[in-house]
Structure 1
Amino acid sequence: MEQASQIAFGRQDPCGRLAGTHDKWDLLAALTHAAAEFELSHRTLGVLKALLTFFPERALPAEADSAIVFPSNRRLMERLNGMPESTLRRHLAALTRLGIVSRKNSPNRKRYARRVGGDTAMAFGFDLSPLARHAARIFGAALNAKERTEHLAVLRDRVAVLRQELLDIADETAETLLDASRKLLRRKPCEAELSAMADLLRAEIASRTPEETPQAPLPAAGKMSGPVSQNERHIQDSVKNDSDSEEPQAKAPCPQPHATDGKAGNTENASDLAKVLRACPEVQAYYPGELRSWQDADRIAETLSPMMGIEMPVLSDARAAMGRKDAATAVICMLEKLGTIRSPGAYLRRLAQKARAGQFSTAPMLNALLQAGNRAEIAS
């Protein structure tokens, strides 16, 4: 029991209390946390607190008839700021019925004590020792109540986050669900209600989140001759010079192939950018000059994002998830179909989530825009 008290309230025991005694205020605090389980109202707990103030010691013993207090109803009513006597009797009866306190009645049902010298030989009134005897149950119930409260707080926050996410992407057809979730959060819902609402919000968000066109599987990469740590530098395009190798060359050096490789890499980047410009001609209206490099595309994407309603932290998150090149491509593609996107910030945030899961590529977006452009040209 002593360990349960210390765990529940994180207190040490510097006074070396006797076994079977508990701090009366710790017990009252734990009982307050677990009031719902014991069906105690705050006014009943107030009456119990008033009774505890008449016990002079802080350590409450668990032995029967060892913690009897005998205040009159008038004294109790004064300490309870004038509570009506009928109300006081009702709450005293509730405490007795629950077994938190017990009565020890005198023959005339009066509350008093007989003393011999300075010691109390016999007392009649309310015995508070059952509170100490039920300490283990009270502390356990308080811990369970604390865990339930924390769990409900997490569920409430989860529903609030999902509601805000739906609010960012939804239209007027979701007003009923948004209003129901708002009203739920204003009440004190149970765990089942919060879990059910979270499931409904997730399903609605999933139904409104745009799905990417399935992309063809990428070809398997050839086996590399060195460990991964030695090949991290190959993430960026680079041209290796012959002077980097100290091994003798079996044949005469031939620089032409290296120059050709560098041009091929630049041509590939230029062709990728050209494909983006063919698929997204709208971007040229916002950029006075010609987009010559991916650095230009990255800068124009950063300029366009606030105009489209995309906050800088969202763009930075997308850059971290998919790279600056793909992030710029995604923003430029979104500009092309901006009229069909309700919340560009939420849309880009969703694309970043897919990129982290390895489920995102700009190729389907570009191909879809190119096909739409071709159909428009044929129709005209």
Structure 2
Amino acid sequence: MNHTSTTVRVGATQPCALPFAGMGAIAAQPFFKPITRRALLAAVNTAAKGLGLRSSNLVVLDALLSFLACRDPQTQSERPITPLTLLTVYASNDRLCQRAKGLTDRQLRRHFDKLESLGLITRRDSNNGKRFPIKEGGRVIGAYGIDLSPLLSRAEEIVNLAQKHEAEQQELRGLKARIGKLISVCVDLSLPAHVTERLAGVRNILRRATTSITEIRSLLHWLQGLVAPVNQTQERPATIESTPEPTPCPRSIPNKTTATDGQNVRHIERHKSESQKNVSSEIKRWSDLKSISAFFPNEPQTQEACLSIIWSLGQMLRINEKTVADGLAKIGIFSMLVRLNAISEKSAEIVSADRYLRSSFQASSW
């Protein structure tokens, strides 16, 4: 008895009959943007928690993806997975177990159950339960086995989810850095016993993998509230808003550093216009940038390293990338480091670091 299934080939306008019902066929595969196996697996790995996956599930997905025909037959170079790549893996369980770091057959079947329940694979079994390819005109057009079409149809969604997760992780790192600085300030304060007890548990909260970004923001707001009254009553050090010192004579600032002064910020080039401004006359060494050197203790040895630190600080302080770029163009690398250092020292008081930095560009002297 012949079984037929009618579907539409990729890119075709007329339906055609598949030779066997229930098999995974190229003609029945969904359309998706081409993506390499490495990029897809990296996105799945980053978004694993949001997808409900464990590390062992990722091992099985990696093994399945490794059987897709994605190598150029002539150059053996890796090619992207496309809708014209057969997405049904017909390798046996023994071969899959070998590539899945020695999982047992029973463990492999459990992982298949999990992946299918999450909507990432579809099992396409033949009548006798065997996996094998279906050929037409000497080429493989389909197969019975493990169909990865559901995974590839969600590839763009998974990539977007991974990017969102990565952005949240970067924000978390920045928030945790700000909280760490505020905790060091709170240690020197005379606080009630219940506040001190809660403060002692903050570091444990930061270490938890399940701590949400909302909880981190709440902790930051609480710590800023503890520090703010002290900042209002105590004498504050000179910063951006303090009265600028007289502009030093350019001749009094050496253009070159001696070989004996190993801590001088040698590779931070000053902007041409900075000679006319009161820009950090007190900054002679990397350690003078107290807040920045606390996060980045190793003095940068190249201009590229300085730029990398500036962009990282911008993310930590939640400063718009355009603001950072405008600042580098207007005042140069050295002044940007000085201003970011001052902003990070007053992070508990500044509502918007982005707006604060942008307004400082308009200052006639700094």
Higher percent of residues as helix: 1
What TM-score does the superposition give when structure 2 sets the normalisation length? Answer: 0.49
What TM-score does the superposition give when structure 1 sets the normalisation length? Answer: 0.48
Which structure has the larger Rg over C-alpha atoms? 1
